Every structure is written in structure tokens, then in C-alpha cells.
Amino acid sequence: MSDRTPLMAGNWKMNLNHLEAIAHVQKLAFALTGKDHEAVEVAVLPPFTDLRSVQTLVEGDKLKIKYGAQDLSAHDSGAYTGEVSGAMLAKLKCAYVTVGHSERRQYHAETDEVCNAKVKAAYRHGLTPILCVGEGLEVRKAGNQVAHTLAQVDGGLKDIPAEQAESVVIAYEPVWAIGTGEVATPEDAQEVCGAIRGRLAELYGQEVADKIRIQYGGSVKAGNVAAIMAQPDVDGALVGGAALDADEFVRIVRFRDQ
Ligand SMILES: O=C[C@H](O)COP(=O)(O)O
């Protein structure tokens, strides 16, 4: 049993406006107990336009729910229309920011090089990056999921020193399991998450690798989370669709009771 605190993060993607976000976080806050927060770190990753409202609620009511953004610019300021900088997210007291989600890689052509620049930007501003990695269906069918995913880990963490890497969160999300209802088996999840920890040990040493949290993501629900969390190298979940239902997300946080 590792002493890593599980991280359950709800990636809302492009869902819930700022008013809906307030209602949703209030529901979570009402349902989650001190015991839940002791056992599991809970985070929400709303759209940018919700962050100020979520911050106000979290700070005003001293909630233990963490929050963060779904993306950031690789640049700190300047003529980058439409982008949001790490400095801006830090000003809103974001704890986390996802980097290289498969939807960013697919629809915004984000390469490992771009992801690496974004991981660096996150650390420049004291944000913890959740680096998303994972293979598509073709790669999985060819049996190359481990090599593919480890190359993304190498690329995303290039030149990141151990002092920073020990706080990174890696989210393994097989693309074929995202939003499809097609969840990877616990053994599938462990195969790649275990390999990721092995690579982190090669890069940073076992002690640092043992501190890094590795999440699984892809059609996680209350009904399948316990088996996935029982795997030794899975330290939480990056939850998409099921995170939009507050009751379901709370059940996911309480994976030990499922
Ligand atoms: O970031 C979350 C993942 O893309 C998983 O999404 P999903 O739970 O809707 O499959």
C-alpha cells in the first residue's frame, strides 16, 4: 500500500457555465465530509470562465476542494490571442492545470514539445501540471501502448528536474476509452501505469518515482473505480463525463465504499 494520497479530479471539459459551476461545487461541498477529504484529494477542472466563481466559493466557504484549469499557454504574456497564461491561473490560486489532454493533442495539434513547454510554464508559476498521456486505438491494437505512452512521458518531462517532477501528476488515458464507455480493464490500466512508474524511476530514481501520482482516465464511473484503484500504480482518476454528476463524482471519491 503506497502512502500517495489519491487524487480524484473532475475534468468538466467544455461543460457548465459559471452559474452551473457554483451550483455544482456547492453540491460537492455539501456532500463531501472531512473523512472524504482526509482520504482523497478532490479537485475540479472547470472551463476558464468558471474559475473566478469557483475561487470565490472555495475561498469564501474555506472549502477543501482544489481547482485548476484544463490548459495554459506555453507563454507568460504577450500577443497570443485567446490564450491564458500560467501567471493568470496562479493569480486565481489554481492548484492544478492539465497539459496535453488527448483532446488538446487531437484538436489543437499539441505535440510532446508543446506539452513540455506547457509543463515548464506551469512550474514557472507554481501550478502542478497533470500531464496526460495515452495511446489511440490503432496503437493499442498493435500492442504498442507502453512504448507509445512512455515516449509521451519522456517528451512531456524533458529537462524537468527531479525537484519539480516529484510533484507532477501523470494521467494515463487510453484515447479509445475516453467518453466511449469502453473502460480499460484494471490490468490494462496497471500495465501502463506500472510502466510509467518504471520510466519515472529511470529518469528520477525510485524515491521520486514513488512519490509521483499516476491517475487513470477513461470512462471512470462509481461502478468501475474500485477495481481500477485497487491496482498498485493507480493513484487516482481523471474523470470526464461522470464528474458532471455531483452524486456520481462523490461516489467515485468514495471508491473504497463501492
Ligand atoms: O479527462 C478526462 C478523460 O478524458 C476521461 O473522460 P471520460 O471520463 O468522459 O471518459
pLDDT tens readout for residues 38-65: 999 999 999 999 999 999 999 999 999 9
Q: What is the DSSP string of 182-238?
A: -PPPHHHHHHHHHHHHHHHHHHH-HHHHHHSEEEEESS--HHHHHHHHTSTT--EEE
CA of 73 to the centre of ligand 1 (A): 22
CA of 240 to the centre of ligand 1 (A): 3
* 241 Cβ closer than 6 Å to some ligand 1 atom: yes
Per DSSP, 4 falls in state P
Residue 24 amino acid letter: H
pLDDT tens readout for residues 192-249: 999 999 999 999 999 999 999 999 999 999 999 999 999 999 999 999 999 999 999 9
pLDDT tens readout for residues 104-130: 999 999 999 999 999 999 999 999 999
Q: Enumerate the β-bridge partners of residue 133.
A: 172
Q: How far apart are the C-alpha atoms of 90 and 96, rounded to whole Å?
A: 9
Q: How far apart are the C-alpha atoms of 146 and 148, rounded to whole Å?
A: 5
Whether 173 is catalytic is yes
Report all structural domains of the chain as residue ranges with CATH numbers, in order of start. 7-257 (3.20.20.70)
Angle at 46 between CA 246 and CA 125, to 5 degrees: 135
